[in-house]
Structure 1
Amino acid sequence: MTLQVNRYHLESLSGAERRVLMQRVRADYRSVEADVRAIVGDVRERGDAGLLAQTARLDGVTLSPAALKVTDEEFEAAEAAVSPAVRDALVSAIANIRHHHEAQLPASSWMQEVRPGVLVGERWTPITSVGLYVPRGKGSFPSVMTMLCAPAVIAAVPEVAVCTPPGPDGSVDAASLVAAALCGVRTIYKMGGAQAIAAFAYGTESVRRVEKIVGPGNEYVSTAKRLVYGEVDPGLPAGPSESVVLCDGAADPEIAARELLVEAEHGSNSAALLVTHSVALADAVEKLLPDLVDALPEQRREYCTAVLSGYGGIVLTTDLAASVRFVNEYAPEHLRVLVTNPFELLPKLDNAGEVLLGENTSIPFGNFAVGVNAILPTGGTARSQSCVGTIDFMKRSSFAYVSDEGVAEVGPTAVTLATYEGFPAHAAAAQFVVDRAAARTRAAEG
């Protein structure tokens, strides 16, 4: 087959060309905002009636209020439908996910004395309720279910609910139900899209409102999250899949070529870049790609073809240091590192959702099996955002205690700054405590 693969020589690009290279597909909020605003408004105003009407209109599935929530019988049917091999794979993956995410748990509290008699600290507590969004647009994703449910349960969130779009027959993917049950989550609603985000944000007669929504979705889901911000914490933004395969000259070209196609097969709007300073490696990878792409099923072949000539391709740099600088600027969702000494390079790789080191650590291992979370920041947001983890389902509260001794240490500071900023009630309240503590101290000293 004829396969066009973009090739960029980084140092020769103009500023405008470099900006084009850095671009990825982002949710087109403006094109869908009017639609999404109407959907959200319908659910907010009419509750179940709006939710079910939008589900019928957009998903082609007619449900009753009683059928919105997955029943115990449906969980039992899913257990019977899933093969032992798939169930065993889910059990293995969840065990690894739990190990990784349990290690993320912070100490429940800490405290220190910053001045004599002045104690300050913080407490970590779970968010009261969360809604997990598991998409079903281009397939079924039990792996996403595991990546969301396991850390929420580990964080001890009291109320964990999942929404996922129903299939044409009104059912939820069997493996996804088994995955949720194995994680300890059994509240699952058959709803998706903007209407599901609205239901979680505002609540309906059948769907309880939540405090935070976590999980990836399409531009309708992303836009709905933006619109309900303030009613609910919409969580990490997540767009189309993206990857960078970072190589030196010693990398195996076939591994690099195969890894390049992993995220490319998600959809035509994905991004997949090989970044290397080795022309020989780039040539070898490009030579392998046509046969590898041609071996894929038609739809995946079309996706990869579109990506390699669209938001993907090969980026040639002058040396490994220049490759690292580009990676940090690009801030990919998935970063696959195929270099001679990957652990020596790791401290220099600052911006990536995940970093997969060495020839054996395939991107699918991260997506499904090793335990790291595969719900990752996209579109360059890895410069400031993190992968989903246990603390996404928790919150910090600071606390302080000041003894009579400590009042003398911090009280005058508070009075002075409150006065300077023009808050007389602040200053008076602080001064009252200062005076009372001083009086008790004088009385104790006799």
Structure 2
Amino acid sequence: MPDINIQRLKALSPEERAALVKRSEADLSFYLEKVRPIIEAVRTEGDDALVRFGRELDKAAPLTREGLKVSEAEFDEAFSLVDEKVIEAIRFGIGNIRSFHEQQAPEPMWLKEVRPGAFAGDRFTPINSVALYVPRGKGSFPSVTMMTSVPGVVAKVPNLAIFTPPGQDGKVDAATLVAARIAGVETIYKVGGAQAVAAAAYGTQTVKKAQKIVGPGSPWVVAAKRLLAGVIDPGLPAGPSESVILADSTVHGGLAAMDLLIEAEHGPDSSAWLVTDSEALIEEALEALPELWSRMSEMRVDFSRTVLTGRSGGIILAESMADACAFVNEYAPEHLEILSTKPFDYLGDITEAAEILLGPHTPVSIANFALGPNAVLPTSRGANTYGPLSVSDFVRRSSIGYVTEKGYPQMAAAARTLADYEGFSSHANAVSELRNAYLRG
């Protein structure tokens, strides 16, 4: 049994407590320096750089300029390569995701009469082009394709394109292609990492330039988004996976340990914490871990052990559940499970979490694949100001104003008073007798 990182919250100094909430991508200095030449190469060389990086960084030796974009034949072939049970699970998940996001979509336009004859409101129109990033380095993620594609399709974005790293065979994961087609996206580029962000930002001979990029990625992707934020909208901050399992004594520690491993198995740069006030639950969790690891692949065991024995994961013992909830808010996790038979008792105390899953029957697994709410979530304490990926991320909002002849005099009087106070002469003239003269003809 490895030495799981166990912290007693009360014993931590302010500096030690701050270290607990620090994420793996908090210091990007190393990646920023490595990413700069990649971005510049893509900007100046286009497709040639994408092929070179695909071969060097993704080890995709067969990759060619002609093969950067997935062909229709590759899409068709994918359905014969993926087990029908997996295809049905993808259809099931996409159905729920689409239903959820259709309910979430804003009305195309609304107007409210704020004063007699004066109307104000909003209009929502789709962004013209959005890049959807789907990682692959530590596995294949058709679920990310589902979560990024569906809200874009619901929003009616006319140009949606998926960017995902090629495998060593130069191909895209077949289930990702299946998920994309079922969701309604058929433009996929075999490009990943920082070079994908650069290609989306600048465009190449094959890749069409995008206005925005969404989707989770490694620190390389996060660094590229940061450097290119002035060229392309980088979307919400979505880095390596992170979770907090908030558990009380009403559930078994083995259940908490099982769910703790869900996000911990994503990779060694993930963050995963079990937070509780129950020492008995901690003992049960530690006892359960060896059996749970015996049921996982060697790679996932290595990832989760690295997380739970390092500085970005483990177990935190709080003095009370109130203290535990306070720590959760301080941490502002991407995924939060409230493991309790009475989860609503704690919900009111939680304000800083991107996703809150309630009760012992709602593990992150169900939310990631099938429930409907979006699983592309802000990381690195982004939950303080951001929410999950949504239809709203694929539309732009325009304010609408309409003042009738009846409503104009009252509005003009107020506007002129404030324009005079702030010293803006043209503002004042535009709502003065000068305007009235033109209006009278």
- TM-score, normalised via structure 1 length: 0.94
Whether the 8 Å CA contact 2:42–2:199 is kept in 1: the answer is: yes
Name 1:360's counterpart in structure 2.
361
Whether the 8 Å CA contact 2:26–2:380 is kept in 1: the answer is: no
Name 1:414's counterpart in structure 2.
415
Name 1:24's counterpart in structure 2.
23
1:389 aligns with 2:355: no
1:348 aligns with 2:340: no
Name 1:263's counterpart in structure 2.
263
How far apart in 2 are the matches of 1:256 and 1:152?
Answer: 34
How far apart in 2 are the matches of 1:297 and 1:171?
Answer: 24
Name 1:272's counterpart in structure 2.
272
Q: How much does 1:415 deviate?
A: 2.5
Q: How much does 1:304 deviate?
A: 1.8
1:167 match: secondary structure = coil
Letter in 2 for 1:17: E
1:330 aligns with 2:342: no
How far apart in 1 are the matches of 2:341 and 2:197?
Answer: 45
Q: How much does 1:27 deviate?
A: 5.2
How far apart in 2 are the matches of 1:48 and 1:300?
Answer: 34
Name 2:199's counterpart in structure 1.
199
Measured against aligned partners, the alpha-carbon deviations of 1:154-188 in whole angstroms (never above 9, x if no partner) come to 11111111111111111111110011000111111
Q: How does 1:155-166 map to 2 (within 5 A)?
A: 155-166=155-166
**Percent identity at matched positions?**
48
Q: How does 1:55-66 map to 2 (within 5 A)?
A: 55-61=54-60, 62-66=62-66
More displaced 10-residue stretch of structure 1: 414-423 or 213-222: 414-423
Whether the 8 Å CA contact 1:293–1:305 is kept in 2: the answer is: no
Q: How much does 1:295 deviate?
A: 4.0
Q: How much does 1:434 deviate?
A: 4.8
Unpaired runs of 5+ in structure 1?
Answer: none
Q: How does 1:124-273 map to 2 (within 5 A)?
A: 124-273=124-273
Distance 1:111 1:136, change over 3 A: same
Letter in 2 for 1:29: L
Distance 1:34 1:26, change over 3 A: closer
1:348 match: secondary structure = coil
1:405 match: secondary structure = coil
Following TM superposition, the consecutive aligned residue runs of length 4 or more in structure 1 with deviations greater than 4 angstroms are: none
Name 1:43's counterpart in structure 2.
42
Q: How much does 1:366 deviate?
A: 0.8
1:119 match: secondary structure = strand
How far apart in 1 are the matches of 2:318 and 2:190?
Answer: 48
Distance 1:398 1:433, change over 3 A: farther
Distance 1:354 1:322, change over 3 A: same
Letter in 1 for 2:89: A
2:66 match: secondary structure = helix
Unpaired runs of 5+ in structure 2?
Answer: none
Distance 1:54 1:339, change over 3 A: same
1:375 aligns with 2:376: yes
Q: How much does 1:130 deviate?
A: 0.7
More displaced 10-residue stretch of structure 1: 137-146 or 112-121: 112-121
How far apart in 2 are the matches of 1:324 and 1:33?
Answer: 34
Whether the 8 Å CA contact 2:341–2:360 is kept in 1: the answer is: no
Letter in 2 for 1:94: I
How far apart in 1 are the matches of 2:258 and 2:245?
Answer: 10
Measured against aligned partners, the alpha-carbon deviations of 1:371-411 in whole angstroms (never above 9, x if no partner) come to 22111111111111111111111121101011223222121
Letter in 2 for 1:227: L
Whether the 8 Å CA contact 2:237–2:380 is kept in 1: the answer is: no
How far apart in 1 are the matches of 2:98 and 2:339?
Answer: 27
More displaced 10-residue stretch of structure 1: 180-189 or 273-282: 273-282
Name 2:7's counterpart in structure 1.
8
- TM-score, normalised via structure 2 length: 0.95
1:266 match: secondary structure = coil
Whether the 8 Å CA contact 2:429–2:435 is kept in 1: the answer is: no
Q: How much does 1:432 deviate?
A: 5.4
Whether the 8 Å CA contact 2:259–2:363 is kept in 1: the answer is: yes
Q: How much does 1:280 deviate?
A: 1.5
Q: How much does 1:335 deviate?
A: 0.7
More displaced 10-residue stretch of structure 1: 301-310 or 251-260: 301-310
Q: How does 1:267-346 map to 2 (within 5 A)?
A: 267-310=267-310, 311-346=312-347
Measured against aligned partners, the alpha-carbon deviations of 1:264-294 in whole angstroms (never above 9, x if no partner) come to 1111222211111112112221222233234
How many residues end up aligned between the 2 structures?
439
How far apart in 2 are the matches of 1:154 and 1:393?
Answer: 9
Distance 1:35 1:7, change over 3 A: closer
Q: How much does 1:46 deviate?
A: 2.5
How far apart in 2 are the matches of 1:9 and 1:350?
Answer: 23
Q: How much does 1:92 deviate?
A: 0.9
More displaced 10-residue stretch of structure 1: 407-416 or 304-313: 407-416
Distance 1:53 1:347, change over 3 A: same
Aligned Cα root-mean-square deviation (Å): 1.8
